Chains A and B, each alone.
Chain A
Amino acid sequence: MNAPLTSLADTVGGWFARTPEPVLAVEQAALRSDRFRLEREADWKRLEAIVSRMEAGRLSRISDEDLLALPVLYRTVASSLSIARETSLDAGTLAYLEGLTQRAWFLVYGPRVGLGGWLRRFFGGGWGRAVRGMGLDLAIALAVMVAGAIVGWLLVASDPGWYSALVPGDGSDPRVPGASRAALRATLYGSQGDDGLGLFAAALFNNNAQVSILAFALGFAFAVPSLLLLVHNMGGLGAMLWLFHGAGLLPDFAAWLMVHGTTELLAILLAGAAGVHIGRSMAFPGELAVLDAAAQAGRRGAQVMVGVVLMLIVAALLEGFARQLIDDALARAAIGLFMLVFWIGYLFAWRPGTPNRNSAPE
C-alpha cells in the first residue's frame, strides 16, 4: 500500500534484529570450494552469533545449549579454516574464517575465572603462594631495608645536617634535631581531638600506594631503582629513630610507628621484593628466554602487588584512626604486633592444599 513506510519499517526493524542473509542452495555454487563453504556456512554463522554476544558481555542472553556448543563449533570452524587454506582461493572467505577462529579462540582459551573467582583463589592461598615464590627476593629487600635504616641512623649520628636531607619537612614540623623532649612527645601523643582523620587516612593510602607501585614497576630496570627507593625511604626512618633516641623516646616512637608500621613496612617490603624479583629474573633468566622469564616474574609480582595495595589500605586505616585514637604506648605496640603475627601467619604459615587445575600457570 505505502511502500516507503514499509521499507522504513524494515530498515528500522533491521537495526534491532539482523535478519540472516538467505543462504544459497548448495547447487547454486559454481565452484567446488564454494560448495564447501555453503555446506558449512550455517555453523559459521551460529558461532559468529554466539561469539558476538559473548564479546558484548551479555552472558545471560546465551542459552546453555549455545554455551555447550561453543567448543564444538570452534573446532568445526578451525577445521574448516585448515581445509579452506588448502582448497580455496576465496580471500574473503579465508579472512572471515581466520577472524572468526581467532575471536572464538580468545573466548574458548580466554580467562576462565571471572574477577570473583580470581579473588577467591587469591585470598584462598594464591597470594601467600606468590609471596613465598619470591623467597630470595624477600631476603634481599629485607636486608636492603635494614641496611637503609642503619645507614640513615649512622649518617645523622655523625652529622645532624643530614637530617633535613633524609626527612623532607615543610618547615613547620617540630621533629627536627635539637627539638625539646616535650615538643617531640607532643607529636606522638594527644591527637585524639583532631578531626579530619578520614581524609588523612585516604591521603596516606594514596601516597603509599603510588610509592609501592613505583618500587614494583622500577624493578624493570634490573631492580636497581627499586633498591635505591627502599634505601631512601628507610634512611628517613633511621634518621627519625635516631632523633627520638636522643630524646629518650625510642620505645614510645617505636610503639607509635608499630600501629600501622608493621603492616606498612611489610607491604613496602613485598613491593620492593616484587620489583627485585622482576629485575633478577631479567638479569638472570636461567633456562628460560629473557622475555619468558620476565613475563613469569611479572605475573607473580602482579599478584603480590594486589595484596600490597590491600595491605596499604589496612595500614592507612590503622594510621589514620587507631593510632590517633589510642594514646597508650603498650596498646599501640600490641596492635602492631598482632598485625605482624597475622600477616606472617596468613602469608607464610598458612598453606592450604594444592591449587586446582584452573589456577594460573606459574
Chain B
Amino acid sequence: MKALSGKGAVQPGRPRPQLDSDRRRRSVTTPEGIALGFTVASRASRAGALMIDLALIFTLMLVITLLLAYLLFGVIGLPQSRLEQSGGAGKSALQFLGVLWIIAMFLVRNAYFMWFELRPRGATPGKRLAGIRVAARPNSGGGVGQLTADAVIARNLLRDIELFLPVMFYAQASAEGGDMGAATIAGLAWVTTFLAIPLINRDHLRAGDIVAGSWVVEAPRAQLSALLVSGETAREGRSTVTGARFSFSEAELGAYGEYELQVLERVLRDDRDENLAEVARTICAKIGWEPGEGDDRAFLTAYYTQLRARLEQGMRFGQRKADKFAGKT
C-alpha cells in the first residue's frame, strides 16, 4: 500500500496545497495488473454513517415494539385483568409475543449490518448516504482479494464490544442499583479506547476491520461528463460571438502544465462568468496578451484545447510537465 503518486505528485518546496483526499488515496493492484486508486473513507463520514444507522436501528426497534404492543392490546383486545390469571389464553399470547420480541431484537441488533454489507453495494443505508462502502483490505503484499461473508460477519461481531457492551453494562448497573458514577467512567473509558483505534492507524481501521481484513473506502460515483471541447469552432479556436480566432504560440502554451490544465478544466465545467473573466485575465497577464473585452469562454476554451493538445503530445513522447514550475529549474 503506497500512496498513489503520479501526475498529482507534489514536489518538495512547491507551494501547492495537498488536499486531505489526496492523503487518503491508496493504490491497489488488481489481478489484471491495473492500479486502482481507492480513497479511504474519512473518519467524519464513517461517524456520520454510524449515527444514521444507529438512528435507523433504534427506530426499527421502536416500531417493532409498538407493533407488537398494538397486536397485543389493540387487535387481540386483551383486557388487563386477563393477564393476571395464570395459565390463561392471555398469558400464552403474551408469551408468544415476548418470544417474538426477543428474537426480533436480537436480529435487528446483530443482523442489520451483516445483511446490508453482504449486498452487492457493500454498504448499510447510513454508509450509502455517506457515500462509502466496505471492501476487502489488500494484504501487506499489495494484492487484494474478495470481500467474503466471513469477513463481514467478523467485523460486525466486533461491533458488539465496541458499541453495545458499554450500553449493556450501563443498563445492568442502573437496573441493579449499582454505582452509576463508576459505570459512567468505565463506559466512557471503554468507548474512548475503541474510538482511539481508528484515530491512530493510517487506514482508519477500527477493531472489527483489523480482525476481518476489511476496510471502508469511498464508493465511486462519477458520472461521465460531456466532452469539454468539440466541433469545428473549438478545433480552430474561433469565437462564435465575436468571430475572433485564437491561436497560441509554443512559448505561450509552455507557460502552464498539467495541474493548471485541470484547474482550467474545472473552471470551464463550472462555467461561471466571474471565474471565467478572472482566469482569462490571469492567463493573459502570464502570457503577455492584452485582455480583450470579448468572449472569455471562447478564449479559455481555445487555450485549454491547444494546451491539452500540446501536453498530450508530450505525453505520447514520454515528456510530462506536472505544473508550471516543472522544467524551469
Say whether A57 faces chain B, with CB atoms less than 8 Å apart.
Answer: yes
Say whether B291 faces chain A, with CB atoms less than 8 Å apart.
Answer: no
Binds B, one of A28-36, A184-192, A239-247: A28-36
Q: Is the CB of B121 within 8 A of A55?
A: yes
CB closest chain-A residue, reference B307: A89
Q: Is the CB of A195 within 8 A of B92?
A: yes
Say whether B319 faces chain A, with CB atoms less than 8 Å apart.
Answer: no
Q: Is the CB of A299 within 8 A of B261?
A: no
Binds B, one of A99-107, A155-163, A346-354: A99-107
Complex alpha-carbon distance, A214 and B121, angstroms? 29
If A30-B234, A44-B224, A102-B220 touch, whether A206 touches B102 (CB-CB below 8 Å) is: yes
Binds A, one of B12-20, B144-152, B273-281: B144-152
CB closest chain-A residue, reference B7: A89
Say whether A68 faces chain B, with CB atoms less than 8 Å apart.
Answer: no
Complex alpha-carbon distance, A248 and B268, angstroms? 90
By the criterion of a CB under 8 Å from any partner CB, how many residues of chain B are at the interface? 82
Residues of chain B lying within 8 A (CB to CB) of residue A297: 211
Complex alpha-carbon distance, A82 and B34, angstroms? 7
Say whether B32 faces chain A, with CB atoms less than 8 Å apart.
Answer: yes
By the criterion of a CB under 8 Å from any partner CB, how many residues of chain A are at the interface? 84
Residues of chain B lying within 8 A (CB to CB) of residue A213: 110, 157, 160
Closest chain-A Cβ to B2's Cβ sits at a distance in Å of 15
CB closest chain-A residue, reference B220: A99
Q: Is the CB of A295 within 8 A of B212?
A: yes
Say whether B112 faces chain A, with CB atoms less than 8 Å apart.
Answer: no
Contact code string A67-101 (vs B, CB < 8 Å = 1, else 0): 00000000100100110011111111101101111
Residues of chain B lying within 8 A (CB to CB) of residue A78: 30, 32, 34
Complex alpha-carbon distance, A90 and B311, angstroms? 11
Interface residue ranges of A326-350 to B (CB < 8 Å): none
Residues of A within 8 A of B (CB): 21, 24, 28-34, 37-38, 41, 44-45, 48, 54-55, 57, 75, 78, 81-82, 85-93, 95-96, 98-103, 105-107, 109-113, 115, 118, 195-196, 198-199, 201-203, 205-206, 209-210, 213-214, 216-218, 220, 278, 289, 291-292, 294-303, 305-306, 360-361
